[in-house]
Every structure is written in C-alpha cells, then in structure tokens.
Amino acid sequence: MADRATQVFNFYETTIANSDFSSGASSFEVASTPTIDGVNGITSATTGDADTWIYLVIDPDSTSNREIVVVKTHTSGSTSFSDVERDYDGRQEAAGAAADTGVSHGIGTTVRMAVLAQHIQDQNDRVATNISSLTTAISTFNTDGAAAIAAINASSATAMVNNATDGTSIDVDIDNDYMVVYDATDSTSKKVYANQTNKEFKDYKETIQGSLTTSSGVLAIDLDNGNVGSLTLTENVTGINFTNVPTSGASTFTLKITQDSATAYTVAINAVTVNGGATVTALTPGAAGFDMTATLDAIDLVTFLFYDAGTPLMNVLQEFS
C-alpha cells in the first residue's frame, strides 16, 4: 500500500452502464456517481493523484467474479471511471485469470464501495510516514518526551504547525497548561507552565551582548540581542537609543561601562530614546542625575528599568575596582 488518502463514500452502490466492463479494460461507465448527502462527492483528479483514488468492488456478492479495482482518474459529476487498475488484490489472478486483467462484468453488474483492507492499510501507511513509531511516540511521551519528539519527522511537525488553528480564542489554564520545550543540551524535552508566575528558575542566566560601541557619540542598544551589555568608552556618550523594548510589562537592561585607560569620558543620560520615541532624560533616585566615574579604567554598573517601554528608571553602582 502507500501513504495516501483515498476517497470514501457512505453507502455508495451503483451498476455498470452502457457497455460491458471486459477483462483487461481500463475504463467503464456506471449508472450514478458517488455523492455526499446528495452533493457530488468526487474530486476531479489526474492520473496518478493517489489522494483521490477510489477503491470499488465489482460484483461483490459473487464468490467467483468478485473483483477489487482502484479508479485513478475521474471527473467531478461524471459517471466515467478511467485508468482503472484491475484485480487489485490479486484474487482473480490466483483463480486463474491473467495478471492484472480481472474478469469480464456485464451491464447491470453491481459496483459497490465497501470497507476494504486497502483503506486501512493506506491510512496506516500515512500515519507511519508522519510518525516513525506511533506506538513509541504515544507510550513514551509522558515519561520520555525526547523519544516522542524524535519519533516525529520534520514533515509531520511542519504540518502540525501549519494546520494549527488561531490560538487567540483559547482560554489558557495558566496553572495547569504546559508547553513542551526541547532541551538540546541534554536531548530531553521539558515542560513549562503557560504562565511561569511564582515558579522557580534554576541556573537562570541572561544573554550578554557583545562589546557595544558608540557612533558619533550615540550608543545604540537593541534588547532583542540581550538584556546585558558592556561598553568601554572611547568618546563622550551624548545619546542612548534603545530599540525593541517590550511595549507591555517590565523589562531591564544592565550596562557595564568601563572608563577609558587614558582619557576620562562622560556619559549623558538626557538624550535617551526608546523605540524611536521622543528624547527623554532617564530618571534617577532623588533626581541626582549621573556622572560617569572619571577614574581611568573604573567600572560603573547602570541598570535601566522600563515599564511599558516608558521613560527608563536608572539605578547606578559606581567605581568598581
């Protein structure tokens, strides 16, 4: 069998019409086309389009002339079937007929869609193609998520994402619903709550941006690259531009500033922009402002706290040595 979705219709039965369906023939006419609740149920197909094949049983009540065929080409609304593969299960060949020719069926012979092993085998092949080991995937998912994930191939994972419905209307139970995250470090899957409120984080760390630099006195900081960064002064900082600051909720950026080893440079905090907005002055405790430590090679640690991407609140620890 093969990975395909053949067409299935409930209670479809008709008869051969217009002319006999002779042995070796590859097309025949029937009295009525399959329908679904009175609506034409056949999808137009071209030869070899296995997702639209139809398995039919001709003369199903005869122990000698019963023959399974597969119709490969048909047109919506038509009673003509063509490119028909004969004696699909080899029954007539086993009884003495020539290979793949079937037997002759006259006008008025019953044609019926019945539950066949081929339907089930095709479906099993389709499942097996998308999940390399369905049994393993199901039985190990709760205890060994990595094995379950490994049992799903790329095409099935892609199909699962592409076919997922819009989640905006889902009422997430934040105390019980989980997301599964694959940890490549130890090749296991981890489950995390949809909302991690009041949950304990182990080995928590933040991404450190590479050494930041200024351009014509302006320091550009993109929070998409991390929430911690370092800057060694090479000129006076006259402005700081933050981008990709989350527009809802709280976020922070911690900046380690190292004074130059030869010249004491300054850092201005009265020309700060957030996500391209208006120029503002960072707020400091007691409105004290900020003066970069002038001691050569000194280190100041500055943390910016944003609420809904608003004017940053600034906390400073100075002159680490």
What confidence score (pLDDT) does residue 114 get? 79
pLDDT above 70: residue 171: no
- The whole-number pLDDT of residue 199 equals 63
Residue type present at position 81: F
Q: What is the rounded distance in angstroms from the CA atom of residue 27 to the CA atom of residue 43?
A: 18
Distance CA 41, CA 27 (A): 19
Domain boundary at 107, 123, 139, which?
123
One domain, residues 81 and 53: yes
Residues 18 and 116 in one domain: yes
Is residue 118 domain-shared with residue 139, that is, in the same domain? no
In a domain, 181, yes or no: yes
My answer on whether 45 and 90 are in the same domain is yes
- End position of a domain, from candidates 71, 89, 123: 123
- Domain of 107? 13-123
User: In this structure, are 185 and 223 located in the same domain?
Assistant: no
* Interatomic CA distance for residues 228 and 211, integer angstroms: 10
Residue-level pLDDT at 64:
92
Q: Is residue 293 part of a domain?
A: yes
Same domain, 223 and 278: yes
For residues 187 and 227, membership in a common domain is answered with no
In a domain, 3, yes or no: no
Same domain, 65 and 146: no
User: Is there a single domain that holds both residue 285 and residue 227?
Assistant: yes
For residues 113-132, average pLDDT: 68
The pLDDT of residue 295 is above 90: yes
How many structural domains compose the chain?
3
pLDDT at position 115: 73
Q: Say what the pLDDT of residue 202 is.
A: 72
Residue 205 lies in a domain: no
Arithmetic mean of pLDDT, 98-105: 91
Shared domain check, 23 and 116: yes
Contact status, residue 223 vs residue 305, Cβ threshold 8 Å: no
Residue 209 lies in a domain: no
79-93, 105-119, 180-194: segment of lowest average pLDDT: 180-194
Task: Give the up-direction half-sphere exposure of residue 201: CA atoms within 13 A in the CB hemisphere.
Answer: 8
Q: 85-89, 129-133, 141-145, 191-195: lowest mean pLDDT where?
A: 141-145
Tokens of 89: 């299960």
Higher pLDDT, 38 or 266: 266
Contact residues for 161 (Cβ-Cβ < 8 A; gap 6+): none
Residue 15 is predicted with a pLDDT of: 96
Q: Are residues 224 and 307 in the same domain?
A: yes
Helix axes 117-130, 154-162, angle to 10 degrees: 90
